[in-house]
């Protein structure tokens, strides 16, 4: 077994540090925006956020932790994630 970890390549490091989420319109899976009128609880929320590099990135967060960590996807990564979800790639094994 190889004890050396694979190198980490972070191609969005600069984007994450400069992606402005203050005006992000967060949406839940049901299409509702999070304007305070939605159902309480824990939800996955996404926002499509344009960046100064001309690319619109997809940000994802947990509604229970709105100031917590945010995942950032490129358009290609988001497409792959959605296709995998539709194909059942993330379904529970039971």
* Percent over 70 (pLDDT), the chain: 85
57/47 Cα distance (integer angstroms): 8
- Burial class of residue 12 (count of CB atoms within 10 Å of its CB; 0-12, 13-18, 19+): middle
Task: State the pLDDT at residue 79.
Answer: 95
Q: What is the dihedral of CA 18, 21, 90, 13, to 10 degrees?
A: 10
Confirm whether pTM is higher than 0.85.
no
Confidence of residue 15 (pLDDT cuts 50, 70, 90): confident
Segments making up each domain of the chain, as ranges: 20-86
């Amino acid at each position: 077994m190889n004890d050396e970890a694979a190198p980490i390549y972070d191609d969005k490091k600069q984007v994450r540090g400069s992606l402005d989420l203050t005006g992000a319109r967060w949406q839940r899976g049901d299409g509702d925006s999070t304007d305070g009128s939605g159902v309480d609880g824990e939800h996955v929320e996404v926002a499509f956020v344009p960046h100064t590099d001309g690319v619109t990135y997809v940000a994802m967060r947990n509604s229970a932790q709105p100031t917590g960590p945010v995942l950032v996807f490129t358009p290609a990564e988001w497409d792959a994630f959605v296709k995998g979800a539709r194909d059942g790639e993330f379904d529970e094994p039971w």
